[in-house]
Structure 1
Amino acid sequence: MYIYLTNKERTLEKLDSEPKIFRLTLKGEDDLLHLVESDSMIELELTESDLIFEVIDASSSLQKGAFLVCNNIPVVENGRKVFEQRFQNRARMIENEPGFVAIRVCRPLNSDTYVIMTFWEKEQDFLNWKQSSAYEHAHKKRGTSEGIDMQKPQIFPRPSFVETYDVLL
């Protein structure tokens, strides 16, 4: 499965009915971003700012009207294997949280930044998860000698950042 993030609506006019296309608005902004989910690679007229990902882990189907959280995590080339193993071996407790809709763990194909997309029924569901024991369990090694963020050599070239979106269509 592949995901394309683009702000170029013109590229989407050429798509047939196979890909799922969702319009996203950055929380509090007017700019539109399009998330295109496809089972196979597709031809799009992309620009340098457009991003392409291969989905390496997923659960559930995406839905309109959801609240999307994108955890953007830059990873150095030689750290990709370790990073991906971490997500392949995750506890998968988030899937049982109230209001959880779907997850996509996205490997970058034209950048160094992985995106962990979690979709929620509403923003409050995400905020509740951040206060839950499942969140605590998923992040319990962070900042410790066992955590991937503290291991040497360092695989994160710069800090991660979070973006949130409303899924419109």
Structure 2
Amino acid sequence: MNIYMTTGTLGFMEKIKDQHTDEPILLMNGGGSTLLLHETNGKSVFQTPRKFEVVGSYGNLTEPGFFAMDNVAVTDEGKPIFEHQYKHLGEQLQNMPGFVAFRLLRPIGSDTYTLLTEWTDRRLYDIWYNSPGNQLSDKTVFKDAGGATQHIFTSAPYTTHYKTPTEEV
């Protein structure tokens, strides 16, 4: 399974989504941009997408929803460690209130992994993210058995947030 992402103006992204109603494409807004996410076993319908292989998955990505994408640049040596650590994060989150889905996305053509989580709303995501047991905010996750830090990151991680637009009644 692969995930493809592209960004653009809301109008243009809506047009692309409307042209491909037979494909599972999510439209989301956040941080002043609009993003389309296409999850498929086939080829992308986008002209120049960011490409990812899904290496960890739980649940179904749906609309409406709140999406958090933790973007983490990982060294080649650190990729197996990183994937092992986060591959089953969705199963660990399954009983968290508001949790919907998870994808661990291995980059194709770059070094930046994406940990994508979907929640029913921002408030429940924030409660989880700020909780003591959250692996994504735990700075001790990549220590070896002796307590030494393993240096597997090539730059500081960053998080982007998106929400699927809801039609007003």
Whether TM exceeds 0.5 here: the answer is yes
CA deviation map 1:6-33 (0-9, x unaligned): 126476576471x310111014x2x211
| 2:30 alignment partner, one of 16, 26, 32 | 26
Q: Report the RMSD for the aligned CA atoms in angstroms.
A: 3.0
Distance in 2 of aligned mates of 1:110 and 1:148: 32
Structure-2 residue corresponding to 1:131: 130
Q: Percent identity at matched positions?
A: 26
Structure 1: 5+ residue stretches without partners: none
- Provide the rounded CA distance (Å) in 1 between the counterparts of 2:146 and 2:130: 20
1:2-151 aligned at under 5 Å gives the runs 2-7=2-7, 9=13, 15=20, 17=22, 19-27=23-31, 29=32, 31-38=33-40, 40-47=41-48, 50-88=49-87, 90=89, 92-135=91-134, 139=138, 141-142=140-141, 150-151=149-150
| 3-state DSSP of counterpart to 1:92 | helix
Change (3 A) 1:91 1:57: closer
> Aligned equivalents of 2:2 and 2:142: distance in 1?
32
Q: What is the count of residue pairs matched by the alignment?
A: 161
* Native 8 Å contact 2:54 2:106 kept in 1: yes
Deviation digits for residues 68-113 of structure 1, max 9, x if unmatched?
0000000122221111111236583311100101111100012110
Q: TM-score, normalised by structure 2?
A: 0.80
- What 5-or-longer segments of structure 2 have no aligned partner? none
Q: 1:94 to 1:42 in 2, by over 3 A?
A: same
